[in-house]
Amino acid sequence: MTLDIEAFLATCRKRTNLLLENCLPSNDAEPGLIEAIRYATLGKAKRIRPCLVYAGAALASNSSSPLGTPYTDLTHSNAIDNTACAIELIHTYSLIHDDLPAMDDDDLRRGKATCHIAYDEATAILAGDALQSLAFEQLSLIDDIPPAQVLLLVQHLSQASGMKGMVLGQAMDLGATNKSVDVTYLETMHRHKTADLIAASVVMGALSNGHADERILLSLHDYGMSIGLAFQVRDDILDELGDTETLGKTVGADAARHKNTYTSLLGIERSKTLLDELLKHSLSALDGFGDRATQLRDLAHFMVQRTF
C-alpha cells in the first residue's frame, strides 16, 4: 500500500468522524438514546464506505486532481460529505441491529461492547432505527447539487439498504444459519448483505459529485459489487486466521454459530483464489478511467489486503 492511499484513508476517516460528530448533537430530552447512538457511531472504525464515496466522487470530477492538491485533501462539498455520512449511518445502524441477541447475538464490535450490551436491547433497536432516519435526513439537506440528483441518492440508498438489498442479505444469512448452503447461495447472500451498500457507496460518490453518466455509473456499480464481495471473502479469511484484538470483533464467531462462510465452504486456499479473481474483476471495471480511478484502485488493493 502506498503512502498516498494511507494518507487518503486517514483524511477520509478524520473527515467522516467530524461529519458524524456534527450530525449527532446532544439531546436533553432522552440522553440515553443519543448516548447510545453516539457510542455506536463515533470512535474507532474503518470508515471504508465513506472512503469509497470520496473515491467515487474523485472519479466523477472533471479536474485532474479532484480531491484537491495534494491527493490527501478532500473537496468540501456538502453533497459528497453528506453522502459519505449517510452511508456510514446506514452501515452503523445495520451493525447495531445485526448484533442484537435475536440476530447474530454478538457482544463485541469495533473493539468495544456492542450497543445492546453497553446499553440495553430496546435502546439498541431504537438507536439503529434513528440512525436510518438520520441517514435520509442527511441526504435531504444536500443543497449544492440539483435536487433531482439528490433524489437519485435517496433512491440508491433506500434500494441498497432495504428488502432487495442489505436487509434481504441479512435475512438470507439468518435463514441459512445451521443449514448447509452452496456457494451460489452464499454469494447471493453476501452480494445483498455487503456488496449492495458498498457498490451504492461508489455510485453515490460519483452522483454526489454531479456525475450521472449511466455507462460510468454501471462500471462503478460493477467495481463495487466485486470489491464488496471480495471484502466479505477477506472478512471470512480474517475470521478464520485473524485475532480478536486486531479485528475488534470476536474471531471464529461465525464458525461457532455454524454460519456458512467462504472458508468453510471452499477452504482457505480456494477462498484466496476467489479473492484474487474478484480483485481482478473489480480493477477491470475501472479500465479506461485512467488517473481518475487511482483512489478506487488503491482502495481495492487495500480492501483485499487488510488485516483488520
Residues at the contact surface with its own copies, assessed by CB under 8 A: 27, 29-30, 32-34, 37, 93-94, 97, 100, 102-103, 120-123, 125-126, 128-130, 132-134, 136-137, 139-141, 146-148, 150-152, 154-155, 157-159, 161-165, 167-168, 170-172, 174-175, 188, 192
Nearest approach, Cβ of residue 63 and its own copies (Å): 26
Nearest approach, Cβ of residue 248 and its own copies (Å): 23
Residue from 123, 157, 122, 161 nearest 137 by CA: 157
Nearest approach, Cβ of residue 307 and its own copies (Å): 31
Nearest approach, Cβ of residue 284 and its own copies (Å): 27
Nearest approach, Cβ of residue 116 and its own copies (Å): 8
Cβ neighbours for 202, distance < 8 A, ≥ 6 positions apart: 52, 53, 55, 56, 220, 221, 223, 224, 296
- For the chain, the helix, strand and coil percentages under 3-state DSSP, each to the nearest 5: 70, 0, 30
Toward its own copies, which CB reaches closer, 30 or 213?
30
Is residue 298 a contact partner of residue 1, using CB atoms and an 8 Å limit? yes
Toward its own copies, which CB reaches closer, 136 or 289?
136
Toward its own copies, which CB reaches closer, 94 or 226?
94
Nearest approach, Cβ of residue 40 and its own copies (Å): 12
Toward its own copies, which CB reaches closer, 133 or 246?
133
CA distance 281 to 264: 23
Cβ neighbours for 16, distance < 8 A, ≥ 6 positions apart: 47, 50, 84, 85, 88
Give the burial class of 174: count Cβ atoms within 10 A of its Cβ; 0-12 exposed, 13-18 middle, 19 or more buried. Answer: middle
Cβ neighbours for 153, distance < 8 A, ≥ 6 positions apart: 79, 83, 86, 139, 142, 204, 207, 208
Toward its own copies, which CB reaches closer, 27 or 65?
27
CA distance 111 to 244: 9
Toward its own copies, which CB reaches closer, 183 or 241?
183
